[in-house]
Each structure stands twice: as C-alpha cells, then as structure tokens.
Structure 1
Amino acid sequence: MRKILFFFFSGSVVLLLGLMTFSCNSLGCSGDATFSELPDTLNLLPLPTSTEMDVRKEVVYAPVFLDNGEKRPKGQRNSPLDQHDYRFANLDNVNWESASLKESDFRGVSMRTSHCNGADFSHSDFRFADLRWSSFSHATFSYSNMAQCMLFRSAMNDAIANNCDLRGCNLFGLKGHRTNFRSCDFSNALMKESELTESDFSHSKAIKVSFLISVFSGSRFDSTDFSYADFTGAGLEDASFVGARLWGVSFRGAHLQYASFRNADLRGCNFFGAEMAETDFTGACNIPEHLREVLVDGKATGTIFYNENAE
C-alpha cells in the first residue's frame, strides 16, 4: 500500500511539474488576456507606393462629413483653421507653427517640407497624404487617421500621436524622439532606419512591420502586439517589451543590452547574433531553446550564436 501511495505521489509530482513547464513555455503568457485575437497577417493595408491609383482616388474623393453631419468648408493655405477641408490644396513648404487644425481633412494632400512644429492636428484625416521631409516636432496628432501616408525623413520629436491609425504608412527615416505613440496601429508600415529613442509604443499593434536598423533605445513597447515584425540590426538598448506578443519576430543582430522582455510571448523569435547584457526574460514564455540555454536567473549576457538549421 505504501509503495502504491509513493508511486502515486511521485507520479503526481512529475505530472504537476510537467504541466508547470508546459504552461510556462506555451500557455502561461500573462499577455494572453491582453490579446483577444490572433495577429491578422492577411488583411493588411499596403504601402502608398504599392496602392493602385483607383484605390487612392476612391479614398481621397469619398465624401466625409463632420460628426454633426455638416460639410467642411474649404481650407486656405494662409488661414489654418479647425474642421476645414484642405484636400487638393498646395501645402508644400507651408508654415503652420503652433496652428490649430483639429478635425481637418488632408486626404491625398501634398504637404512636403512643411513647418508645423507645435501644431494641433487631433482627429484629422491624413490618408495618402504626402508629408515627406516635414517637421512636426511637439505637434499633436491624437486619434488621427494617417493610414498609408508618407512621413519619409520627417521629424516628430516630442509629438503626441496616441491612438492613431498608421497602417501601411511610410515612416522610413522618421525621427521621433520622446514621442507618444501609445495605442496606435502600425501594421505593415515601413519604419526602416528610423530614430525613435525614449518613445512610448505601449498597447500598440505593429504586425509585419520593418524596423530594420532603426534606433529605439529607451523606448517602451509594453503590452504591444509586434508579431512578425523585423528588428534586424535595431538598437533596442534599455527598451521595454513587458507583456508584449512577439510571435515570429526577428531580433537578428539587434542590440538588446539591458532590455526587458518580462512576461513577453517569444514564440518563434530569432535572436541570432543579438547582443545582450543583463537582458531580462523573467516570466517570458515560449523562450527559444537557444536562448533558454544561456539564461542565468532569467537574464542573458553575451552575443547569441547557434545553429539556425537545427532550430
């Protein structure tokens, strides 16, 4: 009888430990409750340069009214006002420093090399707008629709752009130090060679986004869904990915010194050649085998190398 009880007890302990291990590596992600849906990689908006002209025209020419049902009056370059329609206006090199243009329509507008530091564009529509080489530092874009616009080599330092739609946006070379990008959707955007240090992307979504060799030192990506994004060669020193979902993300050659992945879901992540120093993976789940092997008290230090063909 004692032997039976002993084997029963031993088997129960083994089963419990197995379940705990399985839970930690597969199902125990604290972010499971944060993400109610699987990452959608099929219904993604393409970049503006990959969009058919007919689609662009349909978006730009579609009638859009104010919340009260009224039509926006035609906006003038020399008189920036809230709730106006600036479509088809020539706004290249415009100087709207500290202007208020809330709830305005900029769909398809050409606004290149503009000077809009400190301006307020909250709740505005910038779909397919060309905003290349412009300065929007200290500007406000909260709750704006900026899907498929072009912010190539523009500046958004210290800007407030929370709750924005930036899907399919060209953000190549964007400079946005200390910018608020909380609760935004960057899915399928291009953010290669950008500099966004000490910025806040918490609770945002960025499915299949290219962040190649961008710099995000000190930025926060807490509770984000960055599944299938590419951070190859990115500077992520002191960055925080606490509770993030990072399925299939590439961190190849990334600089992850003192970064935090606490409670993150690392299913299918690639850390080949990534540089780490006290990089924190405490509580993370689906940690790749090649990374688990080098963890000491939940942290990793050194450059990660392994046989990729064996993964």
Structure 2
Amino acid sequence: MAAGAAALSVLVALGADAADLSDNQVARMLAGADPARPVDLAAKDLSFLDLSGLDFKRARLGRANLHATDLAGADLSGADLAGAHLDRSTVQKANFTGADLHGASLLRLSVTSEIDVSPRMFEDAPNFERANLSGARIYARLSGANFRGANLTHASFSNYRMTIIELHPLTVLDSAVFSGADLEGADLSHARLAFARLDGARLRGAVLRETDLTGADLTGADLTGADVTGANFDQAVLRDVKGLGTVVGLDRAVNVDRVRH
C-alpha cells in the first residue's frame, strides 16, 4: 500500500514538472485577469496542477491538457474548454455553467469516492448548466450533476467494464438533472440514469441501449427515433413524451409495463 502511494506521488510530481506553468503561476495570472480580456491558456499543459478554488474568469483553455488537474471548487463558468483534455481531473463542486466544452474529453472524472453513497455525493457534483458539451466524451460517476439546458448533442456517455458475470457501467448519472437539455444523437448506452430528471429533454435519435432509466422522469421529453433496446424503464415517468411511436426497440426494453404516465 505504501509503495503504491509513493508511486502515485512520484507520478504527480513528474506531471507537475512537465506542465507548462506551475499552479502558482496560473493563480497569479488569473488573479490579475479581467473577464473582458480572458487569460489565454489555450493548448497549455496544465496536467496534475492544483488549481482548486480558482476563478478562471472566462479563460481560454481550448485544447488545454488538464489531465489529473485538481479543479475542485473552481469557477470555470463561461470558459472556453473546447477540445480540452480533462481526463481524471477532480471536479468536485466545480462550476462549468455556460462553458464551451464541445469535443472535450472528460474520462474518469473524480468527484467523490466510488463507494460513497451519502447525500454528500450529490452535494459535491459539478455544475454543467447551459454548457456546450456537444461531441464530448463523458465517462464518469456524476450522480447529481446539473446538466440543465446543456447542449449534449452527439455526446458519448457510453462505456462499461465487462466482468465474468455482468456489465459494470462506468458512467453513472443517478439523480442527475438534464431538464431541457439537448441530447439529440447522444450515446447513453449502458449508462445508469436511475431517478435522473430528463423532463423536457430533447432525445431525438439518442442511443439508450441497455440504459438504466429506473425511476427517471422523462415528462415531456422528445424521444423521436431514439433506440431504447434493452433499456430499463422500471417506474420511469413517460408522461406527455413526444415521438414514442417512432422509438426503436421499445418491444425489447425492460419493465415497460411498469412505467408511470
């Protein structure tokens, strides 16, 4: 155990040394910045840095490398993160409201412990309200995250780990909020969205194969042309859903007889 911790410390140290700037340099740049003239950090290597709690003041971070960067509590609202690499970054309570994350990579984000099932798990969730995540790849445990009004067109949430006896979803969005979000063409295959809010969401042509929608609220959602083959609709709310007659694979979905209208 001690050897593993030591190895991790070495990796973090090497990563910080490889970054283009130190965390202190980034903090100083942002402290003197004006949101009207954002700091330009586009394509910079900021991997493994501790940037927690910083106000990025709409900084330009397009194509930046933020691998394993600590962004806990950071304010990235309105920031340009198009094509940025945020894999394994810590996003506990991070604010991405209105940020541009189109084409970004958000794999294995860290929010809380994977075994944490306390209310704190939802309190620590990041905020992506009205963010542009079109074409982004998002494989993470983001229970309780806020995607209200976000652009998630053609985003991919689909990933899972196969064991000898079952599939384990790597994308967990239990109780996440997608109210009014645009998920046209998004791939949510194998993702878990138990009790998620998808009311008024646009899911035209979305792929929901084997998706767990237990208790999810899809009131007024548009499912035109969506593929729900193998999806679990146990106790899901399908009141006033649009395009239900065009849905693919509804006859092969699970617990359709247990939906609520």
TM-score tier after normalising by the smaller chain length: 0.7 to 0.9
Q: Which has the larger radius of gyration?
A: 1
**How big is the shift at 1:170?**
1.2
CA distance in 2, matches of 1:112, 1:80: 20
**How big is the shift at 1:210?**
0.7
Q: What SS does structure 2 have at the residue aligned with 1:151?
A: strand
Which residue of 1 is the match for residue 259 of structure 2? 279
CA distance in 2, matches of 1:221, 1:261: 10
Q: What SS does structure 1 have at the residue aligned with 2:190?
A: coil
Task: Tell whether the 8 Å contact from 1:77 to 1:90 is kept in structure 2 after alignment.
Answer: no
Q: What SS does structure 2 have at the residue aligned with 1:77?
A: helix
**How big is the shift at 1:79?**
3.3
Which residue of 2 is the match for residue 306 of structure 1? none
Which residue of 2 is the match for residue 163 of structure 1? 130
Residue of structure 2 aligned with 1:186, choices 152, 168, 181: 152
1:239-254 aligned within 5 A: 239-254=216-231
Task: Tell whether the 8 Å contact from 2:27 to 2:54 is kept in structure 1 after alignment.
Answer: no
Gaps of 5+ in 1: 1-74, 283-311
Letter in 2 for 1:144: A
CA distance in 2, matches of 1:245, 1:168: 19
Task: Tell whether the 8 Å contact from 1:246 to 1:267 is kept in structure 2 after alignment.
Answer: no
Deviations 1:192-227 (A, max 9, x none): 131111010000101111111000111000011110
| Number of residue-to-residue matches in the alignment | 206
**How big is the shift at 1:155?**
3.5
Task: Tell whether the 8 Å contact from 1:117 to 1:135 is kept in structure 2 after alignment.
Answer: yes
Which residue of 1 is the match for residue 193 of structure 2? 216
CA distance in 2, matches of 1:137, 1:186: 21
**How big is the shift at 1:102?**
2.6
Residue of structure 2 aligned with 1:77, choices 8, 23, 26: 26
Alignment of 1:130 onto 2:107:
no
Gaps of 5+ in 2: 1-23, 112-123, 160-170
Deviations 1:55-112 (A, max 9, x none): xxxxxxxxxxxxxxxxxxxx94353625322123220011112221131110111110
CA distance in 2, matches of 1:220, 1:148: 24
CA distance in 1, matches of 2:212, 2:96: 26
Which residue of 2 is the match for residue 142 of structure 1? 97
CA distance in 2, matches of 1:272, 1:137: 39
Give the fraction of aligned pairs with identical amino acids, expressed as a percent: 20
**TM-score, length-scaled by structure 2:** 0.75
CA distance in 1, matches of 2:53, 2:144: 19
Alignment of 1:231 onto 2:169:
no
Letter in 2 for 1:112: H
Runs of at least 4 residues off by over 3 Å? 75-80
**TM-score, length-scaled by structure 1:** 0.63
Which residue of 1 is the match for residue 12 of structure 2? none
1 or 2 for the larger relative contact order (CA 8 Å, sep ≥6)? 1
Q: RMSD over aligned Cα, in angstroms? A: 1.7
Q: What SS does structure 2 have at the residue aligned with 1:275?
A: coil
